[in-house]
Amino acid sequence: MTNGEGAVLKLKAGYAFVRLQTTKTNFHFTVWHSDTPTFLQNSNPLIEGDSASMKSLAVAEAKIWIGDGTETATYVQLDYGDYTTGLALVKTADPFKADFSNQAFGLAQRVNPADLQKAIGVK
């Protein structure tokens, strides 16, 4: 994600919004939690900080990884094995100006080991 974008997590109980602001040497992150998809109605800042490298964060029941980007972009990734948390990239860095009720969320999928073998040419 680039500066000016955000990531929304659809959790078992509510939503989280992740904003990352990158610079040449590090990135600043802020994570909010809301019971509803409209953060303006009820949200609480959960986590805020700075990092110069990849970092894991516990966001409610989910674990995410952030970091390792450039001075204008970085990433948000679900923890390996998380097949229940929804993740969406959104074109806003301000959770209070959007309603995520109709947002489409992607879910991680289990990978069949046979498909991996096929992909690398093993029969």
Give the pLDDT of residue 42: 79
Task: Look at residue 9 and tell me whether its pLDDT is greater than 90.
Answer: yes
- Token readout for 115 is 């498909």
Cα distance between residue 17 and residue 31, in whole Å? 6
Q: For 72-107, what is each residue's pLDDT tens digit?
A: 788 889 998 999 999 999 999 999 988 999 999 999
Give the pLDDT of residue 52: 82
Give the pLDDT of residue 64: 93
Q: For 32-63, what is each residue's pLDDT tens digit?
A: 999 999 998 878 888 888 888 888 999 989 99
pTM, full prediction: 0.85
Enumerate the domain spans of the chain.
6-119
The residue whose two tokens read 């959770």 is 95
Residue with the larger pLDDT of the pair 122 and 9: 9
Cα distance between residue 52 and residue 57, in whole Å? 14
Q: How many other C-beta atoms can be found within 10 angstroms of the C-beta atom of residue 118?
A: 11
